[in-house]
Chains A and B, each alone.
Chain A
Amino acid sequence: MHEWALADAVVSTVEEKVGKRNLSILKEVHIRLGELQNIDREIFVTGLKMMLRGKQCGLEVFKIDMEEAGFKCNYCETEWKLNGYPGIGEDEREAIHFLPESAHAYMQCPKCGSSDFTVAAGRGVLIESIELNGQEPTYND
């Protein structure tokens, strides 16, 4: 349930950016959940709902997309995806869920075996954009 802490971080950030009293002007908040952290979407949404209690905007403003995790070896430059990567046990998945950088202890480049790799995509929770009514998206790539 540490998804709630992350949902809290999202709502706090939105409040910081637009002001606590201005949440009614939110049109859309676009969130990306990285595959690597294995966030339970349902629990995360429940967390958002809790954090939004008594505030001037509803859950419908929040759009959530999943992002596939991708890795690149810093040694031989091989790229690979999480999907299909063998040998990650339940405990290791749980550790990565808590702390995605734990992946460096449990994963290696499938070609050269190096632990020196970059998580190129799909690490954790990010806010992709905050769109206000009557305005262009505030934060984008």
Chain B
Amino acid sequence: MIDPRTSVVEKRLKNVKRIIVVSSGKGGVGKSVFSSVAALLSAEKGLKTGLLDLDFQGSSDHIILGEKVSLPEESEGICPLRLSSGIDFVSFSLFTGESPLPLRGKDTTNAILELLAVTIWKELDFLIVDLPPGIGEEILDIIRFIQRKEFIIVSSSSLVSVQVVERLVNLLQSMNLPVTGIVENMAMDSVHHVSDMSEKYGLPLLGTIPYFPELESEIGDSKKLLKGNFAKYLNAVVKNMFKTK
């Protein structure tokens, strides 16, 4: 039995200049906020931007951006949803809304492969892929199915986060996969674990973003998010991201 879907993934992504995979070994470090606001900033600069939320259990990019989701349109495949900010968006939430989606490993792989095989991405400067935490099916499938990709790693300042994130860095480097850099989120001045990790592995520290309690009040409103302090700091990171190639 042959699964035909693997043969067209690259074809579906052929119009995408850069595929940026936002990952972290640890949960709760702000990957989804990072991914969503980075996509907003990129779109605001006039760059054609896509956002693919691959976090099955915790898809939240649409919540962060304050977008109502619905089933996508069909053409010769599935068309990403065009958000009010101009971002082309795909998430499992387009299909299952806010219902729980309990998937085991094989189902997760099937769902990721289906989305990659049938989604027709138009011309994009950036496709930002928001992954769930960990080094499970989602990241392994992205590594397996997408050839042209680069990773951005997000970590909080805590040693608990950094030590788990380090396992991901080890995995990516052992597979010779390109890591554009590390972002420190919810940064604490008192510790330097993330910069130490960045030095240890020879990876650029793309930026350090402090913890902003007011960010919570910006969630769900793209305009507020773009004006907030988080976006100001992230803007510098995004500029570094753009510069890297």
Are B78 and A2 within 8 A (Cβ)? yes
Residues on B with beta carbons closer than 8 Å to the beta carbon of A6: 4-5, 117-118
B30-38, B91-99, B143-151, B160-168 - the one binding chain A: B91-99
Are B114 and A124 within 8 A (Cβ)? yes
Answer whether A101 and B110 are a contact pair too, CB < 8 Å, given A5-B118, A95-B96, A139-B2: yes
Are B4 and A13 within 8 A (Cβ)? yes
A74 at the A/B interface (Cβ < 8 Å)?
Answer: yes
A131 at the A/B interface (Cβ < 8 Å)?
Answer: no
> Can you list, as one digit per residue, whether each of B68-95 has a CB less than 8 Å from chain A (1) or not (0)?
0001101111100000000000001001
Residues on A with beta carbons closer than 8 Å to the beta carbon of B100: 105, 115
Contact of A98 among B78, B101, B104, B107 (CB under 8 A): B78
B102 at the A/B interface (Cβ < 8 Å)?
Answer: yes
Complex alpha-carbon distance, A91 and B94, angstroms: 11
Are B74 and A1 within 8 A (Cβ)? yes
Minimum C-beta distance from A23 to chain B (A): 15
How many A residues are at the interface, by size bracket?
35 or more
Are A116 and B4 within 8 A (Cβ)? no
Are A126 and B3 within 8 A (Cβ)? yes
**Total A-B residue contacts, Cβ distance less than 8 Å:** 110
Complex alpha-carbon distance, A83 and B12, angstroms: 33
Are A9 and B95 within 8 A (Cβ)? no
Complex alpha-carbon distance, A101 and B112, angstroms: 10
Are B120 and A5 within 8 A (Cβ)? yes
Are A128 and B114 within 8 A (Cβ)? no
B103 at the A/B interface (Cβ < 8 Å)?
Answer: yes
B159 at the A/B interface (Cβ < 8 Å)?
Answer: no
Are B111 and A9 within 8 A (Cβ)? no
Residues on A with beta carbons closer than 8 Å to the beta carbon of B2: 13, 17, 126-127, 130, 139
Residues on B with beta carbons closer than 8 Å to the beta carbon of A130: 2
Residues on A with beta carbons closer than 8 Å to the beta carbon of B76: 1-2, 4-5, 8
Are A105 and B7 within 8 A (Cβ)? no
B115 at the A/B interface (Cβ < 8 Å)?
Answer: yes
Residues on B with beta carbons closer than 8 Å to the beta carbon of A70: none
Are B110 and A123 within 8 A (Cβ)? yes
Using A104-B101, A105-B97 as known contacts, list a sample of 14 further A-B pairs with CB atoms less than 8 Å apart, ordered by residue number in A. Answer: A2-B74, A2-B118, A4-B77, A5-B12, A6-B4, A9-B5, A9-B7, A12-B11, A98-B118, A99-B114, A100-B110, A101-B101, A101-B103, A102-B95
A residues contacting B by CB (< 8 A) are: 1-2, 4-6, 8-10, 12-13, 16-17, 74, 91, 94-95, 98-102, 104-106, 115-116, 118-119, 123-128, 130, 139-141
